[in-house]
């Protein structure tokens, strides 16, 4: 086994981490697959004659060659082997069919079997054409008022009710209800379970303070239901009732957004994918629509309100990237909805979805007259799965993490990460600093406690001394008064004795 094919592209082998010269192929293997030279031509391998190869199978011959070369290496451990020339590796495609190229078809078959879901939240003041727009989007009559399967819900605010359960003041608090309708629609064999959540009464009250709280509670309750289903023993995650997108209908004022619009959008964009639309935009001119969009985007930027942005992937072509940028830059969409079909003026035999006015016809599905098609592309045609992914991977995960942290559940990340000495040292340093800070705080607390106790004792001693001093002073004052009275009595008695005794005459003489 001494001959070796020149310019052969053979992978370099390693045994126990020691690189070793290329192993020549045997005649049996070289005949089956030829060897390519650097020019790409197929050359026939030379015939190798060896008694051992004739007697042993191919694998045994290779093992024998490996053992012989290892033996020669062991004999010359101190010898430094010369650098081996770089061996060019040729990447080949699989000649046969393995089958993993059929995975998209498997996913397609599974998707057709299970169907798709879309939970859509529609919020806006009454009379903005929410139901009409939804019917136009899905070509289906989804009128909530005429449906018998609606699930109405009216949030109760006990703080606004009296003892009899009546509202204290109906004019000062919003009466927002939550109504849900679910339909299964089918298009070309693809089933879509559509759930539309409406919030009638939003923005219709005199005082709209916290009018969005019932909507936020509805979104959170759906997240809680999904979280509970994840924690069950027998999990059923196919029934996804989380809100995937929120269509917020803006009044076509052509001026600025109202405070309730900004407050609602600043709260809702952290809970679900926000898609703002300008309702009934046919009452505005093209210049007014452009100006109104610029003002809305400026107000959103000032409040850090994020709308849904179509993702761009590395494998996307230029056309797909341009479509994604156009869909995002056109927000908010100026839309028009209609349930009627009118005759196309350019083609009398054709009917289009639109509205007929004395001055002409406005087509709902005409991009030059409305952003309706852009909304449909973003919501359904192009990025429905991206809405699902962002809801599940970003919005729901943020809510789930915050919920578990509030419940006191924390994850030990040290179990899931590799050991890093520097990081471990930093963590120990932080733990040591935290312990020192805690010990210092405890010592300060003990010192302050002792100082406060000493101050209390001193104050008590001072109070006792003042009381004792006052008592002694009162006692001395009483004694002084008693002595003064005795002195006064003594003086009075002396005076009385002096007055009562007769005066004796003076004696004369030297013996007086």
Q: Where does the pLDDT of residue 38 fall: very low under 50, low under 70, confident under 90, or very high at 90 and above?
A: very low
Query: Quick check: 1 and 24 in contact, CB under 8 A?
Result: yes
Share of the chain above pLDDT 70, in %: 71
* pLDDT of the residue at 171: 39
413: closest CA among 402, 403, 399, 427?
427
Query: Quick check: 58 and 29 in contact, CB under 8 A?
Result: yes
Question: pLDDT tens digit string along 428-454?
Answer: 899 999 999 999 999 999 999 999 999
Residue 99, exposed/middle/buried by CB under 10 A (0-12, 13-18, 19+)? Answer: exposed
* pLDDT of the residue at 92: 66
Lowest mean pLDDT across 133-147, 455-469, 488-502: 133-147
Q: What angle do CA 400, 264, 134 make, to 5 degrees?
A: 90
- Distance of alpha carbon 249 from alpha carbon 335, whole angstroms: 10
Query: Quick check: 61 and 53 in contact, CB under 8 A?
Result: yes
* pLDDT of the residue at 66: 47
Q: CA 10: distance to chain centroid?
A: 51
Query: Quick check: 308 and 390 in contact, CB under 8 A?
Result: yes
Which range among 35-44, 74-83, 108-117 has the greatest average pLDDT? 108-117
For every residue of 140-164, DSSP letters joined together read: S---STT-SS-EEE----GGGB-TT
User: Is 343's pLDDT higher than 70?
Assistant: yes
Query: Quick check: 324 and 279 in contact, CB under 8 A?
Result: no
User: Would you call 352 helix, strand, or coil by DSSP?
Assistant: strand
Extended beta strands in 385-443, E state = none
Residue 332, exposed/middle/buried by CB under 10 A (0-12, 13-18, 19+)? Answer: buried
User: Would you call 482 helix, strand, or coil by DSSP?
Assistant: helix
DSSP state of 394: I
Question: pLDDT tens digit string along 357-411?
Answer: 888 888 888 888 889 999 999 999 999 999 999 999 999 999 998 888 888 776 6
Q: How far is CA 41 from CA 24, 35, 48, 85, 373, in A?
A: 19, 8, 21, 21, 56
Residue 14, exposed/middle/buried by CB under 10 A (0-12, 13-18, 19+)? Answer: exposed
Structure token pair of residue 362? 């406005």
Identify the bridge partners of residue 192 per DSSP, sorted by sequence position.
116, 185
The pair phi, psi for residue 248, each rounded to 5°, is -105, 120
User: Would you call 202 helix, strand, or coil by DSSP?
Assistant: coil
* pLDDT of the residue at 110: 84
- The contacts of residue 173 (CB under 8 Å, 6+ apart) are 157, 160, 167, 205, 207
- R_g of the chain computed on alpha carbons: 47
On the CB side of 133, CA atoms within 13 Å amount to 30
Q: Dihedral of the CA atoms 93, 95, 100, 102 (nearest 10)?
A: 110
């Amino acid at each position: 086994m001494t001959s070796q094919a020149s310019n052969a592209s053979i992978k370099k082998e390693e045994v126990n981490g020691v690189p070793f010269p290329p192993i020549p192929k045997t005649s049996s293997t070289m005949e089956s697959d030829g060897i390519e030279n650097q020019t790409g031509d197929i050359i026939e391998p030379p015939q190798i004659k060896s008694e051992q190869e004739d007697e042993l199978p191919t694998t045994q011959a290779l093992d024998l060659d490996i053992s012989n070369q290892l033996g020669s290496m062991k004999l010359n451990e101190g010898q430094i082997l010369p650098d081996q020339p770089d061996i060019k590796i040729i990447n080949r495609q699989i000649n046969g069919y393995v089958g993993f190229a059929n995975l998209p078809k498997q996913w397609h078959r599974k998707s057709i079997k299970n169907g798709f879901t879309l939970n859509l939240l529609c919020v806006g003041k009454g009379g903005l054409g929410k139901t009409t727009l939804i019917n136009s989007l899905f070509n289906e009559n989804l009128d909530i008022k005429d449906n018998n399967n609606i699930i109405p819900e009216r949030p109760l605010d006990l703080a606004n009710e009296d003892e009899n359960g009546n509202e204290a003041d109906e004019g000062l608090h919003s009466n927002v209800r939550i109504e849900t309708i679910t339909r299964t629609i089918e298009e070309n064999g693809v089933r879509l379970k559509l759930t539309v959540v409406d919030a009638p009464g939003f923005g219709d009250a005199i005082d709209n303070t916290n009018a969005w709280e019932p909507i936020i509670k509805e979104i959170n309750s759906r997240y809680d239901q999904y979280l509970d289903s994840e924690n069950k023993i027998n999990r059923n995650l196919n029934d996804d009732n989380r809100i995937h997108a929120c269509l917020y209908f803006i009044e076509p004022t052509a001026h600025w957004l109202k405070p309730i619009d900004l407050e609602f959008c600043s709260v809702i964009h952290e809970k679900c994918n926000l898609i703002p639309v300008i309702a009934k935009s046919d009452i505005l001119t093209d210049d007014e629509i452009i100006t109104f969009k610029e003002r809305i985007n400026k107000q959103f930027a000032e409040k850090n309100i994020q709308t849904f942005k179509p993702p761009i992937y590395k494998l996307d072509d230029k056309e797909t990237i341009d479509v994604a940028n156009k869909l995002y830059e056109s927000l908010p969409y100026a839309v028009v909805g209609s349930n009627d079909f009118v005759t196309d003026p350019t083609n009398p035999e054709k009917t289009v979805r639109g509205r007929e006015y004395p001055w002409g016809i406005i087509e709902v599905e005409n991009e030059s007259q409305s952003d309706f098609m852009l909304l449909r592309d973003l919501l359904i045609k192009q990025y429905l799965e991206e809405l699902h992914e962002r809801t599940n991977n970003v919005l729901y995960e943020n809510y789930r993490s915050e919920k578990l942290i509030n419940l006191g559940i924390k994850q030990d990340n040290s179990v899931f990460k590799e050991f890093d000495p520097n990081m471990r040292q930093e963590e120990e340093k932080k733990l040591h600093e935290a312990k020192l800070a805690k010990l210092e705080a405890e010592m300060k607390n003990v010192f302050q406690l002792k100082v406060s106790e000493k101050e209390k004792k001193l104050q008590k001693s001072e109070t006792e001394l003042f009381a004792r001093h006052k008592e002694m002073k009162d006692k001395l004052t009483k004694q002084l008064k008693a002595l003064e009275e005795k002195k006064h009595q003594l003086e009075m008695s002396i005076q009385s004795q002096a007055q009562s005794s007769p005066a004796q005459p003076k004696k004369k003489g030297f013996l007086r």
